[in-house]
């Protein structure tokens, strides 16, 4: 099974550019998790008879959002956090924005696993959403995937908005403490690893130079001055079933590139 993830940074834009159609033609994923769709379903014209398409759009139009395309009919689709977790955490942050209503999580239950596509809140350049990340979002999402894992293994993917280790960004020293590379955000990611989830890309590829996002400034993508902030993580019970984990920096259309795993499941 081929499973892909892509922060498309505006699904309507990549459709209008023809990039989304090229993506499906080239990669033909069985399951695709999208992040930062920035659209309501009625705003998107897609004729994809092969796929079941599901949306979790933000209440604020043109912002955030996730989507799922699947050749396999899921048993069940869930949006956002379940009620028990939502009640445990206060998702309003210092800007009085409710991250629980920003369309950031979409979950599909299949016969032998759960699949989650997630768009983690950005801490912002002034770190104004870092308290949200540290105290609310990261702990809540960890609680959620551990809750799912009690029933069956979990595959989750998406833009986690953090470079975990120094080899996950081109210039770790100069970016120390900046959003996406704070101690708090990196600890939030490490909590997934400590809970037994596997960073699939690192099963196959070590070292630096492998990135999934590049700023538009200073020709960063052509120079490969980037960050690896998009991931596939899986329950440890699935580790031996992962046949490959790849990054596709040559595929354009967004400031993020697609990533994938192939899994025997």
- Domains present along the chain, CATH in parentheses: 2-263 (3.60.10.10)
> In which band, very low, low, confident or very high, does the pLDDT at 264 lie, cut at 50, 70 and 90?
very high
Antiparallel, parallel or unpaired: β 31-35 and 230-234? unpaired
Burial category of 118 from C-beta neighbours within 10 Å (exposed 0-12, middle 13-18, buried 19 and up): buried
**Which of 227, 263, 264, 228 is closest to 245 using CA atoms?**
263
- Interval 229-244: pLDDT, tens: 999 999 999 999 999 9
Q: Are 4 and 32 a contacting pair, CB within 8 Å?
A: yes
Segment 9-28 shows an average pLDDT of 97
Q: Are 148 and 157 a contacting pair, CB within 8 Å?
A: no
Active site residue 119: yes
Segment 94-111 shows an average pLDDT of 86
Q: Are 254 and 21 a contacting pair, CB within 8 Å?
A: no
- Interval 153-192: pLDDT, tens: 999 999 999 999 999 999 999 999 999 999 999 999 999 9
Q: What pLDDT was estimated at residue 91?
A: 86
List 89, 119, 181, 211, catalytic entry: 119
Percent of the chain at pLDDT > 90 equals: 92
List 159, 168, 199, 230, catalytic entry: 159
Active site residue 159: yes
Distance CA 101, CA 66 (A): 12
Q: Is the model's pLDDT at 95 over the cut of 80?
A: no
């Amino acid at each position: 099974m081929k499973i892909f993830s892509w922060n498309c940074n505006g699904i309507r834009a990549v459709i209008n550019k023809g990039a989304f159609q090229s993506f499906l033609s080239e990669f033909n994923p069985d399951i695709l998790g999208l992040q930062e769709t920035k659209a309501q379903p009625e705003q998107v014209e897609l004729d994809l008879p092969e796929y079941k398409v599901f949306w979790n759009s933000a209440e604020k139009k043109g912002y955030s959002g996730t989507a799922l395309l699947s050749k396999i009919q899921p048993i069940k689709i869930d949006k956002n956090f379940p009620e028990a977790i939502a009640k445990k955490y206060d998702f309003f942050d210092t800007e009085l924005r409710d991250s629980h209503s920003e369309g950031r999580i979409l979950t599909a239950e299949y016969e032998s696993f759960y699949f989650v596509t997630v768009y983690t809140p950005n801490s912002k350049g002034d770190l104004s959403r870092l308290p949200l990340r540290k105290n609310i979002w990261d702990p809540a999402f960890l609680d959620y995937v551990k809750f799912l894992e009690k029933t069956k293994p979990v595959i989750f993917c998406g833009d986690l908005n953090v470079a975990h280790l120094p080899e996950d960004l081109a210039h770790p020293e100069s970016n120390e403490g900046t959003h996406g590379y704070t101690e708090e955000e990196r600890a939030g990611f490490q909590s997934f690893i400590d809970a037994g989830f596997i960073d699939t890309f690192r099963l196959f590829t070590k070292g630096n130079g492998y990135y999934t996002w590049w700023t538009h400034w200073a020709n960063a993508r052509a120079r490969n001055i980037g960050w690896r902030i998009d991931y596939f993580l899986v329950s440890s019970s699935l580790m031996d079933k992962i046949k490959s984990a790849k990054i596709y920096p040559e595929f354009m259309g967004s400031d993020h590139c697609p990533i994938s795993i192939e899994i025997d499941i």
